[in-house]
Structure 1
Amino acid sequence: GTDSLPAWQRMEIYSQSYWRRLFGVLHEEFPMLYRLFGQEGFDRLLAVPYIVRYPPASWSLSRLATHFTKWVDAEYQGDDNVLVQACADLDWACREIFVAQEHPRPDLSNGEALLAQKIALQPFVKLLELPGHYLHFRKALLEHPPEYWHEADFPKLEKGRLFYFVLYRGGSCALEWQELSHEAYLLLRAIEEGYTIDEACDRVTLDGIEEQVAFWLQEWLIRNWLHFQL
């Protein structure tokens, strides 16, 4: 056992074990990046510099990755920074959705009052604007363990335009997503920023799609994406 080792060797073993534990948390929080970089690359290029910049603030490691997407945006300098940022944002959004709370549903009995009421997105609903179809890309990556990608070609990433997504926690706590039109994304973003439905509709160019907007709002309320601001 380690008790027979000199104190400095025991400390080194404990230190290595602690670092591996930190790395393991980040591997789990960012499965896309872990597969893209591999363990050695992920730990050297992402995990070590991130942990040095943002060491754990408490004994609980559940919030270790809280600043990771911000760190990638500010510090990561690789030529693939757009890809890395998009994957980090998506992985973190998926993680946050599972631990977010849920507020009571709005009362739908008074439609007129609902339009003027301050509402917000449920905490388990996340909006993402991404430079590629990273949801399909993520699904294909995660279908195989990290070791598979050591030799295999990465999945094809559909890109060339901006994609707008809403991610949310569905039934049985399953991660669900939907691709949005630009107008629907902007409308949800305005609601997220604290505008009433009436105000949000005024801020977004909706010419010719008013009936579609009414359908969207009905769908979002039924799906429980919205709640009254507390």
Structure 2
Amino acid sequence: MSPLPRRVLRALERFHAARPWDHNAHFHRWTLRQLPGRVGSALDVGCGTGDLARLLALRAQRVHGIDADPGITARARELTPAAAPVTYTAADAPAGLGERSYDVITCVAAVHHLPFTEALSAFREHLAPGGTLVIVGLARARTPVDHLLGIVSIPLNVVLALLKSRGRPVPRPVSMTAPTRPADLSFTEIAREARAVLPGVRLRRRLLWRYTLVWRRP
């Protein structure tokens, strides 16, 4: 499928530079809908500034967020009320998951930075029986379906940017200082690996250049 003309891409870049918004936060409420009503403990891997961790605290008795970027976890602590049952650690996943098990593990737009199969195995081992794993991830576009979803996402992205900014330029969100990288696995490769590690897992391609994965440990 042919790419968009360069001048169109430049126009889109200028538009979104003036009206940035958090694509990942768009999936936070969806993430909550995948969870039981109340849980004891939750872990958010790649927690960033803690937006999802604070939402998880509405459903969990205690929440722990980890992120590889010490600066971003420090900012997460600043933004989190002292009374909230949320803690943060600057640590690399999956090695930094520790030994505790959790009723819920979430990972939004971070798993493509990790060794994928190793990360899924670690998430599985740290889930308590009956626990829920929810991943919102990025995949490398390789198939016609991938490219079609990407093209459809462009006008949706523009509409959401206008709605969230109410048509006005807005400040750029706080970003990570740690190095980032694009996804290198296709959705087909992700699905194959996930099904081998997490029998019964549910995966779905999504708009806005994301896919979702939900698994409940027996």
- Smaller-chain TM-score bracket: under 0.3
TM-score, with length taken from structure 1: 0.22
Larger strand percent: 2
TM-score, with length taken from structure 2: 0.23
